[in-house]
Structure 1
Amino acid sequence: MSLSDEKTSSKGEHEHQDFEFNRHDVAGVEYAGILGIFKSPKILGITSLATLCGFLFGYDQGVVGNVLVLQRFGADFPRVYMDASIKGWFVSTLLLGAWLGALISGPICDRIGRKRDIQYQTILFVIGSALQTGAVSEAYLFAGRFIAGLSIGSLTHIAPMYIAELSPANLRGALVALQQLSITLGILFSYWIAYGTSHIGGIRCAPDVPYTGPISNGEATFDAYNDVPAGGCTGQSEAAWRIPVGLQILPGIILGLGMFFMPYSPRWLVEVGRDEEAQQTLAWLRSKPVNSPLVIHEFIEIKAEIVTAREIREAHAVGKSGFAKVLQPYKELFSSKSNFHRLFMGCVVMFYQQFIGCNAIIYYAPTIFAQLGMDPNTTSLLATGIYGVVNTLSTLPAVFFLDRIGRRPLLMMGAVGCCFSLVVVGSLIAAFGKDWPNHKAAGNAAIAFVFVYDFWFSLSWAPIGWVLPSEIFNLATRSTGVSITTSTTWMSNFIIGVVSPLMLENIPNGGTYFFFAGFAILGFFTVYFLLPETRLKTLEEMDEVFGQQTSIQDKEVAERVWRNVSQAETTKLSSAQVA
């Protein structure tokens, strides 16, 4: 909102224009992307720690698929290893917990702040991971995954929001995209760690016992019920799966302890009435004096939005109490076309992020590569590790160029690239999948296009799925809105985790890949027709981007608040300059 329409003094008007000029001068396009990131080392350091939230999720994504094909794990938990349905539930128990964690995280995050919430969630994560690492029965294994899921769901809700609220507009997309880069690094580390530990004691449970399991690519496979000697495995050690599962505790501890040294979100500080601390935090984050026009202007924008949202929210909640008041933040998301548009886009982007199929491949990569003709005990795990490398490297262009190119072009390019790659893989499976040994070139081509698919997904839907929901909501609806959109990705992820092994096992002729390709097409048209560009917009400008229509009463409140806050802050600046 411009002050030119307000009945302010010419001095106040002039100062506001100076603030606006300075903000855009500093946050211009020339400082976006990788150059801007390295010009802001404090923000980069904070983001690097906060994105360990994503690393924890990525590590679990990667390690679970590798553990599921280890014969020693199969000997310890034969039902999980052999039954596609139980296997899907094993993967998805964490995702169900994450859905619940993300859904209930909003009010908690608003009450105790982003920083403290992250710390409490890391305690929960360590407990869940410890239960999985030491599991001696399915009950411990599943309970540990659910508890860790509660934590991961909350962390993936909080971290992008925390990063977005600390970041300047010109760097926000790149910095939140680092969340996805951290997820891919977690996947990469887990793939190669699991590949290395899979050789502890050998790659077979019992080298002297012949396989009697189902035939795959013309050869019998390991049967966890019948191919295990009476005294247990004589080859592969249980450390092969317990070490990679347990190592995720370390980054969880680092995250929890590191957050003691991180700042609170300035927007949350203003929300709870700690204005002076908020302004000092902004000054420190921007490496400017507290009375810098840039800092003053950003503080005015934040405080005006918060006070306006609070007064309007309180006016709408008059006469309401108890449960009705608790539901008010959720009702706000449906109170206007603009708010619902934002909620809808945040949810569908998260939905397509999962139903385009990337996590189906990540969770079951060793199984998929084995189905494409690779040895399930060796080369499929190696190919999975290479997939992790491609996944990580392909995320870097989004970090570098997201704030230059924009969200819409990358999402549409990614949808086209993913669709084409999936159709090629599905077609090759339909044509040659029943006889890979005699069609090695076709098998190699299918594997290559799995990597091509990963490239397109990793530079588009993967990072932007986290960036967009964290930036499109105004402060009055942000925590609740991001909570709902994050819970959408987890519920979608849960469904994919449950049904993917059944689809891969039971749908013939590459139908699973055509299924995911169809959603890529839908994603393209959804973005083309419904998503506005949010590149370089401040969080406070998103109402304008999404065409927020306010009532005359609400406009009067907003104008009055902006005028009062601006006058108060410019008076403080003038007094400081005189002093």
Structure 2
Amino acid sequence: MPAVVIANTGDVPEFEGKITFNVIVCVVIAACGGLMFGYDIGVSGGVTAMDDFLKKFFYEVWERKQLAHENNYCKYDNQKLQLFTSSLYVAALIASFIASRTCSKYGRKPTMQLASIFFIIGVALTTFAVNIEMLIIGRLHLGLGVGFANQAVPLFLSELAPAKIRGALNISFQLFITIGILIANVVNYAVGKIHPYGFRISLGIAGVPALMLCLGSLAIHETPTSLIERKKVEEGRAVLKKIRGVDNVDHHR
């Protein structure tokens, strides 16, 4: 009979620490990246169904919408309209590869700041767009913001959260995505009857979580893991003391 080895976990020390206000603030601010993504997922579908938006940028689609009564394919079969929707995701995919290197070389915090800047530029371009080209360029910037945020925020949350509640805090990113989708649909419903600029209100509100992330990121810490990876050991130790709320952060067996 093979021997059964029972691991003795009694000698494994627990890290000292507590859930500090510092950690909560960092998590809430970082999770605004999820709010950005969720809002943009929810807002695009509602905006593309608004008559004012279609008449401004996709007049042919608006004409089809008035005539077609059988299915949505007859209304929205338009390559440029599909480009409006898909350009964000293509840019996000490409940006995620670049963001991976940025996270490693410069840190999670600068990557999140860069994400918010891209997103704010994208919001400005789409909100005040006067033609399709400006609209698509804005969507590409939004995609860059989403790609950088989706790379940096989950990593930031995982590395900053205390081990005991890491799962609960990390899931806040998904929670904020869902909240963002909900808010976007509520906003679309509320501004749908505001003519002729209701769609611009929907697109412009996307800048709120981006501004929250941009300004809030000035107050949060870089993660200890990132600092140590970049040979900033003492700075990493100092941040670890702040987020754990204790001075003893060394691993003693």
TM-score range, shorter chain: 0.7 to 0.9
Residues 415-442 of structure 1: per-residue CA shift (max 9 Å, x gap): xxxxxxxxxxxxxxxxxxxxxxxxxxxx
SS of the residue corresponding to residue 255 of structure 1 reads: helix
1:22 aligned residue: 14
Gaps of 5+ in 1: 1-16, 28-35, 201-236, 298-565, 571-579
Higher relative contact order (CA 8 A, sep 6+): 2
Q: What does 1:173-572 align with in structure 2 at a 5 Å threshold?
A: 173-200=167-194, 237-289=195-247, 292=248, 295-297=249-251
SS of the residue corresponding to residue 264 of structure 1 reads: coil
SS of the residue corresponding to residue 51 of structure 1 reads: helix
Match 2:126 to one of 132, 142, 165: 132
Contact 2:118 2:142 in 1 (8 A): yes
Taking every aligned residue pair, what percent have the same amino acid on both sides? 32
Residues 140-198 of structure 1: per-residue CA shift (max 9 Å, x gap): 11111011101111111100001101112221111111001111111111111111111
In structure 2, what is the Cα distance between the partners aligned to 1:136 and 1:176?
Answer: 39
Residues 294-318 of structure 1: per-residue CA shift (max 9 Å, x gap): x212xxxxxxxxxxxxxxxxxxxxx
1:41 to partner: Cα distance: 3.3
SS of the residue corresponding to residue 148 of structure 1 reads: helix
Write the letter of the residue equivalent to 1:102: S
Residues 285 and 243 (structure 1 numbering): CA distance in 2 closer, same or farther, change over 3 Å? Answer: same
Write the letter of the residue equivalent to 1:83: Y
Residues 324-364 of structure 1: per-residue CA shift (max 9 Å, x gap): xxxxxxxxxxxxxxxxxxxxxxxxxxxxxxxxxxxxxxxxx
In structure 1, what is the Cα distance between the partners aligned to 2:14 and 2:142?
Answer: 45
The alignment status of 1:76 with 2:56, answered yes or no, reads yes
2:7 aligned residue: none
1:21 to partner: Cα distance: 2.4
The alignment status of 1:150 with 2:144, answered yes or no, reads yes
1:49 to partner: Cα distance: 0.5
Write the letter of the residue equivalent to 1:97: A
In structure 2, what is the Cα distance between the partners aligned to 1:108 and 1:114?
Answer: 8
In structure 1, what is the Cα distance between the partners aligned to 2:114 and 2:45?
Answer: 28
Contact 1:80 1:90 in 2 (8 A): no
Q: Which TM-score applies when normalising by structure 1? A: 0.38
Write the letter of the residue equivalent to 1:240: G
Write the letter of the residue equivalent to 1:66: G
Contact 2:38 2:177 in 1 (8 A): yes
1:265 to partner: Cα distance: 0.8
In structure 2, what is the Cα distance between the partners aligned to 1:179 and 1:103?
Answer: 20
Gaps of 5+ in 2: 1-9, 63-74
Contact 2:115 2:147 in 1 (8 A): no
In structure 2, what is the Cα distance between the partners aligned to 1:164 and 1:111?
Answer: 18
In structure 2, what is the Cα distance between the partners aligned to 1:150 and 1:278?
Answer: 29
**RMSD between aligned residues:** 2.0
1:79 to partner: Cα distance: 4.3
SS of the residue corresponding to residue 194 of structure 1 reads: helix
SS of the residue corresponding to residue 214 of structure 2 reads: helix
Write the letter of the residue equivalent to 2:193: H
- Give the number of the structure whose alpha-carbon radius of gyration is greater: 1
Write the letter of the residue equivalent to 2:214: G
